[in-house]
Amino acid sequence: MNATAIASRALTTLVRMGTTYTLTRQAVSVQAATPWKKDSAVDTTQTLTGALIDYEDAQRDGVFIRHDDRLYIVAASGLSIAPQAGDRLSDGSDDLEIISVKEIRAKATAVAYQLQARQ
C-alpha cells in the first residue's frame, strides 16, 4: 500500500469515527508603530476532521501532560495549513490551545497529526 492510499484510508476512518473541529491561527497583519499600541491581527480558520483520543491517567504527570490536557488525532489530508503549537482548537464547547504537534507520516506523506491541547 502506498503513502497516498494510507493517508486516504486514515481520512476515511477519522471521518467515520470522528467529528469536526475548528483550527484558528492568529497572525499579526499590521505591526503597531509604537510598543504601547496594539498590533492588528487576522484570524485564519480551518476545519479539521479527527477524534478525541485523550490521555490515560498514567500518562498525566502534571508537568508535561497536565490533568486537563486532551489528545486529538486529526487527518492531514485536505489541510491547507498544518497545525502548530500556539494555534487554537475549538471542539464546539471548549476553546483549547495546542501545546504540541506530532506529525504521523507514511514515507514522505503526512497522514495525521497528534495534537496535545490545553484549556
Write out the DSSP string of 50-107.
Answer: EEE----GGG--SSSS-TT-EEEEEE-TT-SS---TT-EEE-SS-EEEEEEEEEEEET
Contact of 78 with 110, CB cutoff 8 Å:
no
What confidence score (pLDDT) does residue 38 get?
Answer: 63
What's the predicted TM-score (pTM) here?
A: 0.80
Question: Residue 114: which pLDDT band, with cuts at 50, 70 and 90?
Answer: very high
Q: What whole-number distance in Å separates Cα of residue 39 and Cα of residue 69?
A: 30
Structural domains in the chain plus CATH codes: 3-118 (2.40.10)
**pLDDT value at 82 more than 80:** yes
In the chain, the amino acid numbered 38 is: K
Phi and psi angles of residue 97, each rounded to the nearest 5 degrees, phi first: -95, 135
Percent of the chain past pLDDT 90, that is, above it, reads: 34
Express each pLDDT in 14-58 by its tens digit: 778 788 999 999 876 666 566 666 666 778 899 998 998 888 888
